[in-house]
Chain A
Amino acid sequence: KQEVTQIPAALSVPEGENLVLNCSFTDSAIYNLQWFRQDPGKGLTSLLLIQSSQREQTSGRLNASLDKSSGRSTLYIAASQPGDSATYLCAVKVLIRRQLTFGSGTQLTVLP
């Protein structure tokens, strides 16, 4: 059974810092990995999708990497801003089943 772990559970940084969020998964047989953002009381917003054959994806100040063999992904946020404060979730889609398995998320607070 696929398990997804996100460390740390919470993170607080001053504005302007670069930061890294970690995601690990137990079964490397995945279709893809997706990073989401969730604001309090809201749905999930897709940030980046990395296919199993890719190593990284970039969107603006965000860069996500994937090392499928070691079961790890990182989300790098450059020059963090207070508006980046949210919970960040990673999820993997496994080969056998068609649904996403989620980690518990990292709650990020960027202090002005």
Chain B
Amino acid sequence: QVQLQESGPGLVKPSETLSLTCTVSGGSISGHYLSWIRQVPGAGLEWIGYIHYSGGTNYNPSLKSRVTFSVDTSKNEFTLELRSVTAADTAVYYCAREIPAAGHLDSWGQGTLATVSS
């Protein structure tokens, strides 16, 4: 059974870049999409975008100018970079798998809290 695990620095200073990694284990993600979703404290879920295993991406227009996804297929690792962060980017960040043409996110990571503060 595939498992996803997010990791990251926990604390980032305003105006800097937040980098998070999603490591996939226990199964192949070949051919699948990997979505990033975040939940601001006390608020709902926001889809940030997804990256295909081949590297193709689709970003939410609300964050498109500041976010970049990448994938290292040799390590089964996916990376999110969010530039010029502010306190409004403080959130729990999740990664989740989507099988192509399935239209749902069937496996999720535990989530990692990223706090933006000086």
The judgment on whether A and B are partners is no
**What is the interface of chain A, defined by CB distance below 8 A to chain B?**
none
